[in-house]
């Protein structure tokens, strides 16, 4: 477990450092959300809506925990993405997919769980606090209808995920 935790931490940290080059806080927050959305999408396509909701629950639980640590603090607004948002998203989505790949080599869903925890933690740090859950939930689910259309059509689920 410690080896996997270290590996996931290294992947996420190195990716964030790379994405941070020339990026604003908003770019990084939206990049981290893109990485979380990618993990959620893969989980949903592979294991169904209930499993995707489990990813949501993990993110929400971490946000609640942080809210309790900073009891009384108002939710923070998400910083607006800038010109570097697409680059940050591409790098952090790639990190997410690396963690999904690693998940196949370790028991259970440990690698994905660690990746979700690490990305959520870093998103909260970069955002400067805990955003409102409804905003995060909407951003995590923004491609959900498109994913269902792809699955229903029997297409390759990854084909529509290319950077736009």
Q: Which residue has the higher pLDDT, 106 or 160?
A: 106
pLDDT digits (tens, 9 = 90+) for 53-89: 999 999 999 999 999 998 888 999 999 999 999 999 9
pLDDT digits (tens, 9 = 90+) for 86-99: 999 999 999 999 99
Instruction: Enter the pTM of the model.
Output: 0.86
pLDDT at 8: 95
* One-character DSSP codes across the chain: -HHHHHHHHHHHHHHHHHHHTT--HHHHHHHHHHHHHHHHHHHHHHH-HHHHHHHHHHHHHHHHHHHHHTTTPPPBPPPPP-TTHHHHHHHHHHHHHHHHHHHTTSSTTHHHHHHHHHHHHHHHHHHTSPBPHHHHHHHHTTTHHHHHHHHHHT--TTGGGS--
């Amino acid at each position: 477990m410690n080896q996997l935790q270290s590996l996931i931490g290294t992947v996420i940290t190195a990716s964030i450092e790379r994405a941070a080059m020339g990026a604003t806080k908003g770019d990084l927050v939206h990049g981290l959300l893109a990485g979380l959305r990618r993990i959620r999408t893969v989980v949903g396509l592979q294991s169904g809506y209930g499993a995707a909701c489990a990813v949501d629950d993990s993110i929400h639980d971490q946000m609640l925990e942080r809210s309790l640590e900073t009891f009384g603090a108002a939710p923070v607004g998400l910083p607006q993405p800038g010109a570097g948002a697409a680059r940050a998203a591409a790098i952090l989505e790639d990190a997410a997919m690396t963690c999904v790949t690693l998940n196949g080599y370790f028991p259970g869903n440990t690698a994905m769980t660690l990746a979700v925890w690490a990305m959520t933690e870093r998103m909260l740090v970069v955002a400067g606090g805990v955003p409102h859950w409804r905003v995060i939930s909407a951003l995590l689910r923004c491609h959900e209808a498109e994913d269902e259309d792809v699955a229903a059509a029997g297409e390759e689920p990854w084909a529509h995920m290319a950077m736009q």
